[in-house]
Amino acid sequence: MKIVILDAYTVDQGELTWNGLTDFAEVESYERTSPEDVVSRCKGAEIVLTNKVALDATILNKLPRLQYIGILATGYNVVDIETANRQNIVVTNIPAYSTESVAQMVFSHLLNIVSRVDHYARENKQGKWVSSPDFCYLDHQLFELSGKKMGIIGLGNTGMATARIATSFGLQVFAYTSKEEEDLPFGIKKVDLECIFKQCDIISLHCPLTETTHHLVNKERLISMKPTAILINTGRGPLVDDAAVADALKNGTIAAYGTDVLTTEPASADNPLLDAPNCYITPHIAWATREARQRLIDICTENVRAYLDGEPVNQVN
């Protein structure tokens, strides 16, 4: 049996190993795979593992020996599920491996915005504190989180972890969720989207990307937000209209945007958010702590083991 990993470097970064998979089969691992090389590299493999390399109908139709696709992520839009079903290919994903890491990034962005950590560190290097006539150097307002309202859109694993941290900061937590209010932990109030956008000081996005959530944050909703509001996105880039958010920042419609994701990744050079004021962008790294990446590899290995034992887990088709 042969296992092919199409884009191993996105996960292992050259520092983690896939040794557990060698217990099951011969493993061919590629750091990256271009679209034109997918079929030649996968030919003869019964198992293919992919993070962001797409496996569409055209590719799957050329791989008659393929029996199992392991997606090295939670989202599974990189695989044509309908074609996989027709060809009896089992498809699995990796759920909940980066929950704590992503929730941590939410507050990394938020604390940077309200406490201006990066700003003051840079100012110090420019000698601003050294030359200050006062014992402290203060040129921007700082804000406490305690007592403010945080709206969380989507209360799955990551949304719930974010809510837990939020309550420890003394934030009032409002959630837009399909869960019943009586099933929510103490301190989380179920509300509608209108309430989230109109009343909350901070909004954090954790919902899946679907037809109905595409551009969930648009010009109309941004206008309804407080001018002091902060928007955080560690979910999916297309949940927000990048151009509308850039305009809102330039016009002072909202105060700040912290995001780990953009509509196009890597970022397009002409993305208006890149030079928007009070916009803080990290390059899709919320999931990528060493612990989360190791967890991903471990879950992947167990997914393959379960499949070979005839009892697939984390199957999405």
- Active-site positions read 236, 265, 284
- Distance separating alpha carbons of residues 169 and 150, to the nearest angstrom: 11
Cα 175 to Cα 112, 195, 247, distances in angstroms: 23, 10, 26
Q: DSSP characters for 174-215?
A: EEE-SS-GGGSPTTEEE--HHHHHHH-SEEEE-PPP-TTTTT
Return the H-helix or E-strand segment holding 91: strand 90-92
Mapping DSSP to helix (H, G, I), strand (E, B) and coil, where does residue 308 land?
Answer: helix
Cis peptide upstream of residue 266 (ω within 30 degrees of 0): yes
Extract the tokens encoding 225: 């937000």
Q: Kindly give, in sequence order, each residue whose CB lies less than 8 Å from that of residue 230, ignoring residues fewer than 6 positions away.
A: 110, 113, 114, 201, 202, 203, 254, 255, 256, 257, 258
- Distance separating alpha carbons of residues 189 and 255, to the nearest angstrom: 24
Cα 297 to Cα 8, 259, 300, distances in angstroms: 10, 26, 5
Q: Kindly give, in sequence order, each residue whose CB lies less than 8 Å from that of residue 101, ignoring residues fewer than 6 positions away.
A: 286, 287, 288, 289, 291, 292
Neighbours of 289 (CB within 10 A): 16
Residue with tokens 């890597």: 266
